[in-house]
Amino acid sequence: MNGAPRIAPAGTRQLEARIPSGPIPEKWDRCKFDSKLVNPANRRKFTVIIVGTGLAGGAAAATLGEAGYHVLSFCIQDSPRRAHSIAAQGGINAAKNYRNDGDSVTRLFYDTVKGGDYRAREANVHRLAEVSVSIIDQCVAQGVPFAREYGGLLDNRSFGGAQVSRTFYARGQTGQQLLLGAYQAMMRQVGAGTVKMFPRYEMLDVVVVDGRARGIIARNLVTGTIERFQADAVLLATGGYGNAYFLSTNAVNSNATAIWRAYKRGALFANPCFTQIHPTCIPVSGDHQSKLTLMSESLRNDGRVWVPHAAGDRRPAAQIPEGERDYYLERRYPAFGNLVPRDVASRAAKAVCDEGRGVGETGLSVYLDFAESIGRLGEDVIRERYGNLFQMYEKITDENPYKAPMRIYPAIHYTMGGLWVDYNLMSTIPGLFVLGEANFSDHGANRLGASALMQGLADGYFVAPATLPNYLAGASLPKVGADHDAFREAEASVTKKIDRLLSVKGRTTPREIHRTLGKLLWDNVGMGRTEPKLNDALARIPHLREEFWATVSVPGSGAEMSQVLEYAGRVADYLELGELIALDALERRESCGGHFREEYQTPDNEALRDDESFTHVAAWEYAGDGALPVRNVEPLAFESVKPSQRSYK
């Protein structure tokens, strides 16, 4: 690709973050105090649509149902309990300081702002740290069986980017247990009649009436019918967009459609290039691969990462003597060692593989070795801590990690970017709120381990239920019927898109195109980004999109259960979103957190931020198909934590 770099039009929109005034520790209290309330007797008159039943959506449905609102809850899976959050393994952070190791709300706040490489909104992060404490209490009361010490009190482990032990866990199934807690609370409301459930539904559009979100269009995935749902507010809790990269640790139904369609209706998309690559995943085994399996970060508590000193050393791990092994994380980052944050660990793994020191058949993996811990603690202790992960590893690879080191490699795992929201979690479409991984709010350019579960539950149990009433009480929300023009128009546009997918009748499967897109994004918009690679991606994605619309095969009709149709619709959206990710990465001419531009690095290969030019959120505004989106900016102010070069040495 030659020619000048593309410049997206700079927006002039004033983004109102609505951060409450006052000192940072008082902002959340002030926000709650200043909020208008909805009288309990009036709450059932308000209908609230919640799309998604992961930690964020499930918790919100339960809490708003308990408060008495009329809640409609949608999810793709056959039961709310199966949302992608179920797969989270390692744990959830909270500033409880039960270990008395110096933790506090302030420290969790500080670690998260620093971990995000100073690209998150301070006030949001502080609130997250504050409510983290109540989350644990709530979950324990629900019967979540967290791990405990012999004295009967809650146990903690350490996660990357922190020097205190503040991660609560339930074996290797923390996400499952937290989600089941939220799901059960939500099902209690289903029983009580406040929440109505719509499983196997896919939201395909937001309906905006007089500038406010007033409903959704969704497809019944069993019958194929397109249905209209009206509400007074819509909450999206639809998860991240990591699956744009084809191979990721996300569940196969995780997708970007809900937030992408909302973007096309006027919600701004913030920092799409802030994607997280997790350092410890099971490496790719072949073309048939449908997803990548994560090996929890908690393993880095007891596992040591290494590669051979010499490039091209093909000996099995056991035959490489201690002196010829390079424990490169311990060497480069003596203070944090194997527990450096994810972006740092992933880049370090890529660097050693680029030097030809990677291991395994493809040379695209590094060792995660438990021999020392097994020697020190015994195999039983390791089995108790990580048994299910070791078993999962063995099932997939046919190798026994108690005997030989695991092989791991980075993979797309999480997306910090997402729909732009103000302090109240409301997007730029009034009445459209965005919760959990689907929003951009708390993790800046890099998320710390065990903080996504914390954020999902914070948003769902505590934040949205406190900020939504203020909107409902203050807005004028006349009744709208399902025959309103806006609903008709939205339904027609959804139907048109489906018909178009069905009518191509080509020979290429949606998966083939998705795989090609994913590989392009991984190679060019992955761990090491450069201007030429980004321009190359921007040149190629439109062609891929054309190829998709000219050759895709979607057999069958729309009036039935059709997974290939669902998937094709999602791939069509990735083909647009992928371009925005690349464009955002191109325009952010600095490195920060998970966004590493090779042109901008320190002499020892760390991310080099440009605070002068980029201490801001890039919030992209849709400008019509074929037009370059507009890049708006929300400046970030750091009043409590002074930005510095992140150091984990």
Partner 1 sequence: MANMNLTLQVWRQGGSFGDGRMVPYDAADVSPDMSFLEMLDVVNERLIAAGEPPIVFDSDCREGICGMCSLVVNGVPHGPDRGSTVCQLHMRRFKDGDTITIEPWRAAAFPVRRDLVVDRGAFDRLIASGGYVSVNTGSAPDGNAIPIPKDLAEAAMDAAACIGCGACVAACKNASASLFVGAKVSQLALLPQGHPERAARARAMVALMDNLGFGNCSNEAECEAVCPKEISIATIARMRREYIRALVTGAGR
Distance CA 385, CA 505 (A): 51
The 379-418 contact track toward ligand FAD, x by CB under 6 A, reads ----------------------------------xx----
Using the minimum distance from each CB to partner 1, give the nearer residue, 154 or 351: 154
Contact range with ligand FAD by CB under 6 A, out of 396-404, 430-438, 503-511, 636-644: 430-438
In terms of residues, how long is the chain? Answer: 649
Contact range with ligand FAD by CB under 6 A, out of 130-138, 150-158, 221-229, 451-459: 451-459
Distance CA 171, CA 354 (A): 35
* DSSP type of residue 73: E
Site for ligand FAD in 282-321 (CB under 6 A): 294
The dihedral through the CA atoms of 466, 468, 470, 473 has a sign that is negative
Q: Return all residues near 147 (Cβ < 8 A) that are at least 6 apart.
A: 154, 155, 168, 169, 170, 171
Closest approach, Cβ 324 to partner 1, in A, equals: 30
Distance CA 567, CA 546 (A): 17
Amino acid at 263: Y
Q: Does 175 bind ligand FAD (CB under 6 A)?
A: yes
Query: Residue holding tokens 């006052």?
Result: 22
Using the minimum distance from each CB to ligand FAD, give the nearer residue, 263 or 614: 263
Phi, psi of 525 (to 5 degrees): -125, 35
SS3 of 507, please? coil
The 474-513 contact track toward partner 1, x by CB under 8 A, reads -------------------------------x-xxxxxx-
Closest approach, Cβ 90 to ligand FAD, in A, equals: 3
Angle at 221 between CA 559 and CA 581, to 5 degrees: 110
Q: Does 582 bind ligand FAD (CB under 6 A)?
A: no
Using the minimum distance from each CB to partner 1, give the nearer residue, 432 or 552: 552
Q: Does 309 bind partner 1 (CB under 8 A)?
A: no
- Per-residue tokens: 643: 């930005």
Using the minimum distance from each CB to ligand FAD, give the nearer residue, 84 or 631: 84
* DSSP type of residue 407: E
Distance CA 562, CA 387 (A): 37
Q: Does 456 bind ligand FAD (CB under 6 A)?
A: yes
- Per-residue tokens: 453: 């579960």
Using the minimum distance from each CB to partner 1, give the nearer residue, 199 or 337: 199
Query: Read out DSSP for 259-323?
Result: HHHHHHTT--EE-TT-EEEEEEEPPP--TT-----B--GGGGGT-EEEEESSTT--S-GGGS-GG
- Burial 315-327, CB ≥16 within 10 A → b, else e: eebeebeeeebbb
Of residues 107, 157, 342, 597, which has the active-site annotation?
342
Using the minimum distance from each CB to partner 1, give the nearer residue, 221 or 575: 221
CA atoms within 13 A on the CB side of 439: 30
Among 147, 364, 539, 630, the residue binding partner 1 under the rule CB under 8 A is 147
Look at phi and psi of residue 444 and say left if phi exceeds 0, alpha if psi is from -120 to 50, else beta: left
Site for partner 1 in 318-377 (CB under 8 A): none
Using the minimum distance from each CB to partner 1, give the nearer residue, 213 or 247: 247
Site for ligand FAD in 220-279 (CB under 6 A): 237-240, 249-250, 254-255, 257-258
Using the minimum distance from each CB to ligand FAD, give the nearer residue, 437 or 587: 437
User: Which residues are bridge partners to 607 per DSSP?
Assistant: 601
Pick one of partner 1, ligand FAD, none as the site partner of residue 492 (Cβ within 5 to 8 A by kind): none
The 346-385 contact track toward ligand FAD, x by CB under 6 A, reads ----------------------------------------
Among 395, 479, 543, 642, the residue binding partner 1 under the rule CB under 8 A is 395
Among 1, 7, 252, 311, the residue binding partner 1 under the rule CB under 8 A is 252
Pick one of partner 1, ligand FAD, none as the site partner of residue 81 (Cβ within 5 to 8 A by kind): partner 1
Q: Does 132 bind ligand FAD (CB under 6 A)?
A: no
Using the minimum distance from each CB to ligand FAD, give the nearer residue, 24 or 76: 76
342 included as an active-site residue: yes
Among 56, 72, 86, 108, the residue binding partner 1 under the rule CB under 8 A is 86
Q: Does 33 bind partner 1 (CB under 8 A)?
A: no
Using the minimum distance from each CB to ligand FAD, give the nearer residue, 11 or 449: 449
Closest approach, Cβ 179 to ligand FAD, in A, equals: 7
- Per-residue tokens: 319: 């035959």
Distance CA 90, CA 175 (A): 8
Closest CA to 280 of 369, 356, 357: 369
Among 23, 36, 225, 285, the residue binding partner 1 under the rule CB under 8 A is 285
Among 445, 450, 477, 525, the residue binding ligand FAD under the rule CB under 6 A is 450
Angle at 516 between CA 513 and CA 518, to 5 degrees: 105
Pick one of ligand FAD, partner 1, none as the site partner of residue 194 (Cβ within 5 to 8 A by kind): none
Q: Return all residues near 597 (Cβ < 8 A) that are at least 6 apart.
A: 529, 530, 531, 585, 588, 589, 590, 591
Q: Does 51 bind ligand FAD (CB under 6 A)?
A: yes
- Per-residue tokens: 513: 């195109």
Site for partner 1 in 159-188 (CB under 8 A): 170-171, 173, 175-177, 180, 183-185, 187-188
Query: Residue holding tokens 């997007």?
Result: 427
- Per-residue tokens: 159: 């996660």
Closest approach, Cβ 292 to ligand FAD, in A, equals: 9
Beta-carbon count within 10 A of 331 CB: 11
Site for partner 1 in 445-474 (CB under 8 A): 461-462, 465
Phi, psi of 329 (to 5 degrees): -70, -40
Pick one of ligand FAD, partner 1, none as the site partner of residue 581 (Cβ within 5 to 8 A by kind): none
- Per-residue tokens: 267: 């919600």
Site for partner 1 in 90-119 (CB under 8 A): 96, 98
Task: Tell me the catalytic residues.
Answer: 342
Q: Which residues bind ligand FAD (CB under 6 A)?
A: 51-57, 74-77, 83-85, 87-92, 174-175, 201-203, 237-240, 249-250, 254-255, 257-258, 294, 413-414, 436-438, 450-453, 456
